[in-house]
Amino acid sequence: MHKSSDVPPAHAKGVGPASSPLVAGQYSILRNRDSNPDPNKVLDIPCSDSFSVIVQLEDFASHRLWRGGQLAYKGGHVRESTSIAYLGDEVRCQHLAAYDNLRINLPRTPLEDMLYEEGVSRRIALNCPPGTLDPVIYHLTQSLLPALKMPSKVNQLYVDQVMLALCTHISSHYGNVTHWQEPVKGLSAWQMRRAEELIAHHLADGISVTELAQECSLSRSYFTRAFKRSTGMAPHEWLLKMRVDKAKQLMLHSRLNLSQIGLDCGFADQSHFSRIFLRLTGTSPSRWRRFHRPGNPD
């Protein structure tokens, strides 16, 4: 029998402060934080056949977690630690201190579909002890934080690739499967041509890895690896290169200002355009334009 302090109040329900979710396919990414949570509030987590990957962005001093009405964890977590909870277990949590974390919801079906593409056919279960320090998970999720600030301007190819890498790592290290990958030879000529055409057609709005892979009759993970073997770049890097190439053409053959050129080429704003252009060319857009087209205003 549990002590009264270990049993969650029956009607103290609510939801914590959170950012707008970022959706990648059937996965969702959410940043949750509260510097002064109500210690008497117990949050009911909606039941679903999915896994919640929780990465602590700051030290979390104290909380309680119940599964099926039983106290499953009491304590805190250090910054950079990871926990994975199955949300079909009637999960409840009580925040007893300030928290800041990133939560990624992974429905079981798309996770198993991804594994099936890699030759694994079985029902997956994940076992990651609370507070596990996993630098791969931490740094992959860190790379998603900028996208959460501007979800409408996100590079979908990049988010898809991060999520693919994250799911692959989690299933390999914490799943009941032995991950297997088919040797990669690279894309065929027609597959490379089709991928280039699709990326070029979606420079402004972006395109997902899933769409590219389907057009090439490949799985997402195989396509990503084959594309990099063929080009030396990940698909999202190729997209950025093509955006910069298009920007160069507009700077040479139009009188549009740099801000408009950046938007027309799919960059979030002029700052984003300048940063990527500098990284790929070694110079700023304004300097490049002055050098290649003297006298043209910025």
CATH number for the domain that contains residue 281 = 1.10.10.60
Q: Are residues 49 and 170 in the same domain?
A: yes
Reply yes or no on whether the pLDDT at 191 is more than 50.
yes
More confident of the two residues 20 and 92 = 92
Do 259 and 200 lie in one domain? The reply is: no
Does one domain contain both 161 and 212? no
Is 97 in contact with 62 (CB distance < 8 Å)? Answer: yes
Same domain, 138 and 261: no
Q: pLDDT tens digits for 93-149?
A: 999 999 999 999 999 888 887 777 666 666 788 888 889 999 999 999 998 888 888
The yes-or-no verdict on residue 19 having pLDDT over 60 is no
- 71-97 tens-digit pLDDT: 989 999 999 999 999 998 888 999 999
78: left (phi over 0), alpha (psi -120 to 50) or beta: beta
Confidence of residue 3 (pLDDT cuts 50, 70, 90): very low
Structural domain harbouring 277: 244-292
Query: Does any domain span residue 180?
Result: no
Q: What is the number of structural domains in the chain?
A: 3
Does some domain include residue 49? yes
- Judge whether 237 lies within some domain: no
203 shares its domain with 115: no
Would you say residue 13 lies in a domain?
A: yes
Q: Do both 199 and 257 map to the same domain? A: no
- Mark whether 16 and 162 lie in a shared domain: yes
Look at residue 215 in the predicted model and tell me its pLDDT: 93
- Are 247 and 203 contacting, i.e. CB atoms less than 8 angstroms apart? no
Q: Are residues 43 and 126 in the same domain?
A: yes
Q: Is the pLDDT at 11 greater than 70, yes or no?
A: no
Smallest Cα–Cα separation from 96: which of 225, 187, 5?
5
Considering the domain architecture, whether residues 169 and 106 belong to the same structural domain is answered as yes
Residue 183 included in any domain: no
Nearest to 158 by CA among 121, 203, 192, 208: 208
Total-model pTM: 0.67
Mean pLDDT of 181-207: 86
- Answer with the one of 129, 144, 174 that is the final residue of a domain: 174
| 162 and 205 both lie in a single domain | no
Is 243 or 24 the better-scoring residue by pLDDT? 243
Whether 147 is covered by a domain: the verdict is yes
Rounded to whole angstroms, what are the CA distances from 278 to 71, 166, 198, 282, 297?
Answer: 53, 29, 25, 5, 19
- How far apart CA 234 and CA 226 sit, in angstroms, is 9
If asked whether residues 39 and 164 sit together in one domain, one would say yes
Q: What is the mean pLDDT of the chain?
A: 84
What is the tens place of the pLDDT at every residue in 207-264? 888 899 999 988 888 898 899 899 999 898 999 999 999 999 999 989 899 999 998 9
User: Considering the domain boundaries, does residue 298 fall inside one?
Assistant: no
Amino acid identity for residue 71 in this structure: L
Asked if the structure places residue 132 within a domain, the reply is: yes
**Would you state the pLDDT for residue 89?**
83
Average pLDDT value for residue range 154-182? 79
127 shares its domain with 19: yes
> Residue 10 belongs to a domain with what CATH number?
2.60.120.10
